[in-house]
A and B are shown apart, each in its own frame.
Chain A
Amino acid sequence: MDAFPTIASASKAIAAKKLSPVELTKASLARIKAHDSALHSFLLVTEERAMADAKAAEARVMAGSAKGPLDGIPIAHKDIYNTADIRTTAHSKLLEHNVPTADSMVVKKWDAAGTVMLGKLATHEFAMGGPSFDLPWPPARNPWNPDHFTAGSSSGTGAAVAAGFILGGTGSDTGGSIRGPAALCGIAGIKPTYGLCSRAGVLPLSFTMDHTGPMAWTVEDCAMLLQAMAGYDPEDPASADRPVPNFTADLAKGAKGLRIGVIRHFFEDDHPVSEATRKGIDAAMDVYRGLGAEVSDVTLSPMSEYHAVGSVILTSEAYAVHQPWLKTRFNDYGELFRDRIALGAFMSSADYVQAMRRRRMLCIEVRDAMADYDILVSASQPGEAPRIDSVPKWGNLEKPSLTMPFNVTGNPAMSVCTGYGEGGLPVCMQLIARPFAEPMLFRAGHAYETATGWRGKRPALVA
Chain B
Amino acid sequence: MPPVTREEFDILAAQTGLPLSQAQKDTLFDVYPTLQKILTTAAAPMPREAEPSLIFYPEVR
User: How far is B38's CA from A357's CA once the two chains are assembled, in angstroms?
Assistant: 15
Question: Which 3 pairs of residues, A with B, have the shortest CB-CB distance?
Answer: A356-B52, A345-B16, A308-B41
Q: How far is the CB of B27 from chain A (nearest CB, A)?
A: 6
Q: Which residues of A contact B44 (CB under 8 A)?
A: 305, 358
Per-residue A-contact encoding for B19-41, CB less than 8 Å = 1, 0 else: 11000100110011011011101
CB distance from B38 to the nearest CB of A (A): 5
Contacts A234-B61, A358-B42 known; A346 to B35 CB distance under 8 Å? Answer: yes
Which residues of chain B come closer than 8 Å to A308, judged between CB atoms?
37-39, 41-42
Q: A349 to nearest B CB, angstroms? A: 12
Cβ B38 vs Cβ A358 within 8 A: no
Q: Which residues of B contact A9 (CB under 8 A)?
A: none
Which residue of the partner chain, among A208, A339, A345, A346, contacts B27 with CB atoms under 8 Å? A339
Q: Are A361 and B46 in contact (CB under 8 A)?
A: yes
Tell me, yes or no, whether A343 is within 8 Å of chain B by CB: yes
- Is there an interface contact between A342 and B54, defined as CB atoms closer than 8 Å? no
User: Given A342-B16, A342-B18, A345-B16, does the pair A351, B39 have CB atoms closer than 8 Å?
Assistant: yes
Known A-B contacts A308-B41, A342-B18, A346-B12; the reply to A353 vs B34 at CB < 8 A is no
Complex alpha-carbon distance, A208 and B54, angstroms: 8
Given A356-B53, A356-B54, A342:B28 Cβ within 8 A: yes
Give complex CA distance A231, B27 in Å: 43
A357 and B24 form a contact (CB under 8 A): no
Residues of B within 8 A of A360 (CB): 50-53
Among candidates B19, B28, B43, B50, residue contacting A361 with C-beta atoms closer than 8 Å: B50
B17 proximal to A (CB < 8 A): yes
The interface of chain B, by Cβ under 8 A from chain A, is 12-13, 16-20, 24, 27-28, 31-32, 34-35, 37-39, 41-44, 46, 50-54, 61
Tell me if A8 is interfacial: C-beta within 8 Å of chain B.
Answer: no
Taking CB atoms, residues of chain B closer than 8 Å to A357 are 46, 50-53
A241 smallest CB distance to B (angstroms): 9
Q: Which residues of chain B are within 8 angstroms of A361 by Cβ–Cβ distance? A: 46, 50
Bound Cα distance from A330 to B19, whole angstroms: 7
A-B contact pairs, 8 of them (CB 8 A): A309-B42, A312-B38, A345-B18, A346-B28, A350-B43, A357-B51, A361-B50, A393-B27
Q: Counting chain B CB atoms within 10 Å of each CB, which of A326, A342, A359, A394 scores highest?
A: A342
Bound-complex Cα distance A354 to B51 (A): 9
Known contacts A351-B39, A355-B42, A356-B54; 8 additional CB pairs below 8 A are A339-B24, A342-B24, A343-B28, A343-B35, A354-B42, A358-B46, A360-B52, A394-B34
Partner of B42 from the list A343, A345, A351 (CB cut-off 8 Å) is A351
Also in contact, A312 and B18, with CB within 8 A (given A339-B24, A343-B35, A397-B34): no
CA distance A358 to B45 in the complex (A): 9
> Chain B contacts of A342 at CB under 8 A?
16, 18, 20, 24, 28
Q: In the complex, what's the smallest C-beta–C-beta distance from B6 to chain A, in angstroms?
A: 14
Q: Bound state CA distance, A359 and B52, in angstroms?
A: 7
Residues of chain A with a CB closer than 8 A to B46's CB: 354, 357-358, 361
> Given the complex of chains A and B, what is the CA–CA distance between A305 and B39 in angstroms?
10
Residues of B within 8 A of A18 (CB): none
Which residues of A have CB within 8 Å of B61?
234, 237
CB of A351 within 8 A of CB of B43, answer yes
How distant is B42 from chain A, measured CB to nearest CB, in Å? 4
Q: A327's contact among B19, B50, B53, B54, by CB below 8 Å, is which?
A: B19
Chain B CB within 8 A of A311 CB: yes
User: Which of chain A's residues have a CB closer than 8 A to the CB of B32?
Assistant: 346
Checking B17, B41, B43, B53 against A304 with a beta-carbon cut-off of 8 angstroms, the contacting residue is B41
Residues of B within 8 A of A394 (CB): 31, 34
Min C-beta distance of A194 to chain B, whole Å: 10
Q: Please measure, in the bound complex, the distance between the C-alpha atom of A342 and the C-alpha atom of B28, giving whole angstroms.
A: 8
CA distance A205 to B38 in the complex (A): 20
- Determine the chain B residues whose CB is within 8 A of the CB of A398 once the complex forms: 34
Residues of B within 8 A of A331 (CB): 19
Inter-chain contact A343/B31, CB cutoff 8 Å: yes
Q: How far is the CB of B28 from chain A (nearest CB, A)?
A: 6
A62 proximal to B (CB < 8 A): no
Judging by beta carbons under 8 Å apart, are A359 and B18 in contact?
Answer: no
In the assembled complex, A363 has its CB within 8 A of some CB on chain B? yes
| B45–chain A nearest beta-carbon distance, Å | 10
Give A130 Cβ to nearest chain B Cβ, in Å.
17
Q: Which residues of B contact A355 (CB under 8 A)?
A: 42-43
- Bound CA span A359–B44, Å: 12
A52 within 8 A of B: no
